[in-house]
Each structure stands twice: as C-alpha cells, then as structure tokens.
Amino acid sequence: MKIAIDAMGGDHAPEEIVKGVEMARDRYKDLEFMLFGTESEVKPLIQSMERLELIPTNEVIAMGDEPVKAMKEKQDSSLVQAANAVKAGKADALFSAGNTGAILSSAIFIVGRIRGVERPALATAFPAFGGPHKEFVFMDLGANAENKPSHLYQYGILGTFYAESVMGIDNPRVRLLNNGGEEDKGDDVHKEAHQLMKNTDAFNFLGNVESREIMEGTADVVVADGFSGNATLKAIEGTALTMMGQIKESIKGSGIRGLLGALLLKPALKAMKHKMDFQENGGAVVLGVKAPVVKTHGSAKANAVANSMGQIQTMVEENLVGKTTDFIKENADKLKVKKAAK
Amino acid sequence: MKIAIDAMGGDHAPEEIVKGVEMARDRYKDLEFMLFGTESEVKPLIQSMERLELIPTNEVIAMGDEPVKAMKEKQDSSLVQAANAVKAGKADALFSAGNTGAILSSAIFIVGRIRGVERPALATAFPAFGGPHKEFVFMDLGANAENKPSHLYQYGILGTFYAESVMGIDNPRVRLLNNGGEEDKGDDVHKEAHQLMKNTDAFNFLGNVESREIMEGTADVVVADGFSGNATLKAIEGTALTMMGQIKESIKGSGIRGLLGALLLKPALKAMKHKMDFQENGGAVVLGVKAPVVKTHGSAKANAVANSMGQIQTMVEENLVGKTTDFIKENADKLKVKKAAK
C-alpha cells in the first residue's frame, strides 16, 4: 500500500512531515511512501530510504494561496504532483497538511469524484463526551459553502460508510444538524433534507440534532451543510481554547493557592486537553472522492502526521472507497428516485 | 416607565418571575410592572402591590407549543396579553422567559416591526475574553432560519445602535460571521452582504470574522444569519457545558489529589463559570420592533429576571427604539439605493 505525501504543506513542513512519515514507517510495516517536495529541502531530512521514494517538485502551494488558482497554476507543486500520482494509480491515497482549499480542489478535480456523488465533503472523527462510542463523524466541515438537500442526504451515506468501515460502528446513528429537533425546523434546504433522510433505508436516520448536543455523543454521524458545519466546528474549537486560556488566567490570578491547586489538578486538566485535542489522532478526510485523501491541521507535528498514516491504512484496508462506490452504483436508481420525488 | 411581564413563561414560572420582579422593584425605583398571569397562581406569590398591577389571564403558552399557532389561538394567554398592552401603549416594554418562538412572533406580529426593518433579529450581549470591551452584541441568534443579504446589512445598523445606546460603546466595530476572512468567502448571501456592509457609511464595518475568533473580542457587533448564528451560539454553550462537566469528571477520577486541587482552584473555576454564565446578566433582545422585547432563558431564576429589568430600563431610557426608528426613516433612501444597486 502506497501513500502519496505532500511534504511541503503545513506550518512545520517539510521537517515534521518527513519525521512523521519515518515514524509511520516504523509503526506500519505494510506502508510505502512517495514523498513529493523540493529536493534541496527534503532530501537532507530523510534518515533512510527504506519503503520511501522522493519525487522532486519545484513549486509550493502556500497557506494563503487562492486554492483553485494555485492548483491550476502550480502544476509542479508537491500537492498537485502527489494528487496526480494517486490519479495515475501510482499511489493509493493522498496526504497533506497544507492549504485546505487546495487539498479539497486537488481531491475533487484531480483525484476525482466517485460517480454519483454530487458533492464530496470534508469529515472528521470528533470526540464524543457521552454515548456508546468514543467518537462520531462530523461532516461537511466546509468543503461546500452552499448545499442542496440531496447533498446532505448523500452525506448520510458517505458518513455511514466511514463510521462503519474506519471506526467500526455497527448501524451508525445519523442525525442532521439543525436549529431545532422538530422535522419542520430550519430553512427549506434542511426541511427537505430531513424528509429525504427520514424516508430512506440507506442509513439509520434518527432526526435532527442541535449543535449544543453533538458533543454528548447523541449521534455517530452528524450531517451539516458546509457553512454551518464549519461555523460549529470553529465555535467548538474557539470555545475550548478560550476556556483553557481562562483557566490558566484564573490560576495565575489566584496566587500560591491557585498554583498549588493547578499542580494537583494537572493530570486531570491534561486528560481533558488530550481529549479535546482530537486532531492529534488523525486528519480530516475528503469523502466522496476516488481515493482516501487526508488533511491534518496546518500546525501538525510528526506524531499527528504518523497517526494520519494509520488512519489512511485503515481506510485502504477496509476498502472504504470501493464499498462506497459499489453502494452508490447499486443504488443509483434509488438515489435518483429520491431526487425526482422532490 | 412600565414593563409588561409574562408571569407564566419559563421553567420556574410564575414563582421566580414574580420574585425577580419584586427584586427589580427594590433595585430600580422608576420602574412599574404589569404582571400578566393566572390569578390563582400569581396572586398568592406577590408580597406587595407597590408599583405593580396584576392583570388576570386564562391561558398559558407552553414551551413546546407551536409558536405562531399558539400566539394566534391563545389570545387570552399571559404572553399575548402582555404584548397587546405594549401595542396599546399601556406599557413601554415586554418581558418573558417563555417559548422563544412565541415571544418572537408576539414581538413581530403584535408589537410590530419598525417601518423599514425587513426582519427583526434576536440579539444578546456576549462576553468578550479579550479586546477593548467586556461584551459584544451577537445577532441574529435564530429569529430567522433564512436571511437575505439586505437583512444582514440591516443587522449592522440595529446592532450598532444597541452597542452604542445600551452598552455604551463608541463607534462599534461590526463584523460578519463567515467561514473565512476574505471578502469572497461564504455562500452568495454572505458574499453579497459583505459588499453591502463594506460600502456603507451607516456603521463601522471591519470585515468577516470566523466563529473561532468571536469570543476573543474581535468585534463589538457580530452579525450572523439566523441559522448559523443559532448553531454557533449553541455550539459555544454546549462546549462550555461539556468542558465544565469534563473538568468535574476528571477531578472525581483523580482521587484525593484531584479533590484537594479542586478545592484550591474553586475560586478560579467559579470566576470562569460566572463569566460564561452570561445569560444571568440579562436577556436576549428582539431588535427591530417598536418597543424593547426581552427574553431570558427558560431556566432563569429571580436574579436573572431582575437583571433583565435593568437592561430594559437602559433601553427605554436611552430611547433605543426611537433612535433606530429615526435613523431608518432618515436613511430610507440610502437603504433603498443599496438594494437597488444589487
């Protein structure tokens, strides 16, 4: 199994990317790696060429680049060349810690959509602080700024396959992120999506969920439109950061007593921080494209990069893309009927 | 100054409502209160009739009632009668801790929109953990499931008046909640709203803000569409609750060491919880209607009710509605030009 790596994407690239890949090579004995990057920068970092190939590239897509433009114009960039390798069948999956928009564009336009999938989506495994499972799938996190009801319906299918195959959850509980529990809540898109989801037997739909409740583990797949999914994810991250900062401030402000208390509570606070630090366990996945595409956060260090490789290995081993493709092919009529019924 | 009170709305009504009103009577010497509620339940709770009038009503709108239907059918409910009193000019403002949707409907359809305001919005003062001011205005929090660009543009005006008049912020910094900082981010509604806001001199627009950053105090008025504003607010609340719960769990799980640490940190944690508990300081306000309408959370106790009365007093004293009405009247042409230019 071979993974195409964009060695130049991310705040700590290429150092932490190369380090993470070599870490992953030690952990996962079946993995091989194609490293795409600027030779003069990447080559000196590599410790051993075991199961590793360096493909020199001459351009880099920066974090601030306009995504589609960068993908089109920087044909010899590490990201575009890595995506080309996946498209050509030379690699089984794509990894990058770089510009999210450019990764999405490369996934959709180079790796390509699975036939029948209207809009690929960005998904992540998010920690559940309650409920029967440790994590749930949260999507779309911003691949799309605008969604139709049929997109949301399809996310139920894509998310269910991910929860089953990669997270090992049987018959995952799917819910639609909406601004109320009742089925007539939300704008027209969400009302219609609710009806499509309610009337399908393609997955196990349990109704709406509000953003207040998603962290409690009330669903295994939370389907959101890209705009409010993105806003919700960032609100959660912002609140967690703000609260951790506030706790620190409060401790500092309460003198020796606070410092002593903090010292005693350190393991407890660390455990919580660890659980909130979910991005360490793997990356966000572009679902609905013809190969696994994983994106870790820009500030990822070697360990997060290595963990993403483990996540990719599971996706390839479990044949996530194949299963999804087959299901969509076999149920093409059903999917069309759904839309016609609208 | 007279406030019409729905004594029957809220999880702890009428007990805590009546208690809160009497608390407010002691604090604010210029306030008079019209209490609308079921006589047999409310009358026994009242300690003194000083500056207080009880208007008996025979129906109650429950938390689970369908809002518009309830407002139309329960004409003799405490909420509808209180709203009628405001409409008739017998009271200057409306207060309820009940069914949010029904309060919004009563505000919009009974109290009535200010002429020229396309869509009233639900706003709250939210704690800023950074920046020059203690709080910022966050709106729309769910009065509308769907918004047009012109609605968002008008929220900039409504929010600016609230921040100036009630929170005493000069030249408030207005930002648009969007899924990225650049002006071409978001769906068509947000892109177009950004242009309207950027090209106006009606308020001080500083561009987009992401939900990750709003708590840092990067704006004094955060304008959101009702759907993602609602999702963001609930995500923040849910995360804060989950984290407080996690801290407690972690403490319990770390034995005598954790308990001792918690004891020492108690003042620090309490200070943080207090700041997050922003709803205690006042209620959410329906902006864009002909009188101040304030709604506290359903679980409000007497103190939060009394604080809301103080908030209402400021709104009436500062003539928030009058100022807003005059501005919109004087700038009607400008507002229309904006729309025509679209």
Average the pLDDT over each of A189-198, B240-249, B250-259, B296-305 and give the range with the smallest value.
B250-259
pLDDT in tens, B160-176: 999 999 999 999 999 99
- Give the Cα separation of A26 and A30 in Å (integer): 10
Site of tokens 């070599």: A22
Mean of pLDDT values over B256-272:
78
Helix (H, G, I), strand (E, B) or coil at A93: strand
Residue A269 and residue A177 in contact, taking contact as beta carbons nearer than 8 Å: no
The CATH architecture one would assign to domain A1-117+288-337 is 3-Layer(aba) Sandwich (3.40)
Fold matches, B1-117+288-321 and B118-283? yes
pLDDT of residue B337: 41
CB spacing of A211 vs B231 below 8 angstroms: yes
Q: How far is A158 from chain B (nearest CA, A)?
A: 23
DSSP secondary structure letters along B2-62: EEEEETT-STTTTHHHHHHHHHHHHH-TT-EEEEEE-HHHHGGG-S--TTEEEEE--B---
Fold of A118-280: Isopropylmalate Dehydrogenase (3.40.718)
- Give the Cα separation of B269 and A261 in Å (integer): 11
pLDDT of residue B341: 45
Helix (H, G, I), strand (E, B) or coil at B326: helix
pLDDT of residue A144: 93
pLDDT band of B265, cuts 50, 70, 90? confident
Residue A217 and residue A129 in contact, taking contact as beta carbons nearer than 8 Å: yes
Domains in chain B: boundaries: 1-117+288-321, 118-283
Average the pLDDT over each of A164-173, A314-323, B22-31, B277-286 and give the range with the smallest value.
B277-286
Q: How far is B30 from chain A (nearest CA, A)?
A: 38
Q: For residue A59, what are the CA distances in angstroms to A39, A76, A78, A79, A83? A: 11, 5, 7, 9, 14
ipTM: 0.90
Left (φ > 0), alpha (ψ -120 to 50) or beta: where does A330 sit?
Answer: alpha
Residues of A in contact with B226 (CB under 8 A): 179
pLDDT of residue B340: 42
DSSP secondary structure letters along A197-232: HHT-SSSEEEEEE-TTTGGGT--SEEE--HHHHHHH
CB spacing of B268 vs A250 below 8 angstroms: yes
Amino acid at B159: G
Residues of chain A whose pLDDT is less than 50? 337, 340-342
Residue B234 and residue A211 in contact, taking contact as beta carbons nearer than 8 Å: yes
Mean of pLDDT values over B144-155:
95
A144 DSSP assignment: -
pLDDT of residue A335: 66
pLDDT in tens, A203-236: 999 999 999 999 999 999 999 999 999 999 999 9
Residues of A in contact with B250 (CB under 8 A): 265, 267-269, 271-272
The residue in chain B having the minimum alpha-carbon distance to the alpha carbon of residue A64 is B182
Q: Is the pLDDT of residue B61 over 70?
A: yes
Mutation site for B-interface testing, chosen from A99, A138, A175, A230 by largest number of B Cβ within 10 Å: A230
Q: How far is B324 from chain A (nearest CA, A)?
A: 28
Average the pLDDT over each of A75-89, B9-23, B263-277 and give the range with the smallest value.
B263-277
CATH 3.50.50.60 for domain B118-283: no
CA-based radius of gyration for chain B: 21
Q: Which CATH superfamily is domain B1-117+288-321 in?
A: Isopropylmalate Dehydrogenase (3.40.718.10)
Q: Quick one: how far is CA B328 from the chain centroid?
A: 21
Neighbouring CB atoms inside 10 A of B267's CB total 14
pLDDT of residue A82: 98
**Which residue in B188, B242, B264 is closest to A215 by CB distance?**
B242
